[in-house]
Amino acid sequence: MIAPTSSDIGRRVAYRDRPEVEPELGVVTSFDRFFVFVRYGADAHSRATKASHLEWVRLASSG
């Protein structure tokens, strides 16, 4: 689960509603009290997503 702030707009997240399912990657575009709005893949629009289904994507460090 994530708890986004305004500085998190543009951060990558992974959506997973069940542990056995491959995550779907997206980017946070906005949020409100109820949902985090995420643009997934090549989607033209963001989708409302529950924060409890999202995790931050950690970038692999080089070196």
Q: Quote the tokens at residue 30.
A: 């906005």
- Inside any domain, residue 43: yes
C-alpha to C-alpha distance for 33 and 40, rounded to whole angstroms:
20
- Inside any domain, residue 41: yes
**Would you state the pLDDT for residue 21?**
87
Q: For 11-45, how does the pLDDT look when each residue is reduced to its tens digit (9 = 90+)?
A: 999 999 888 989 999 999 999 999 999 999 999 99
- Inside any domain, residue 22: yes
Q: Are the C-beta atoms of 62 and 45 separated by less than 8 Å?
A: no
- Inside any domain, residue 62: no
Three-state DSSP state, 54: strand
CATH of the domain at 36: 2.30.30
Please give the helix or strand (H or E) that residue 41 lies within, else none: none
**Would you state the pLDDT for residue 37?**
98
For residue 44, give Cα distances in angstroms to 31, 40, 49, 50.
17, 9, 16, 19
Total domains, the chain: 1
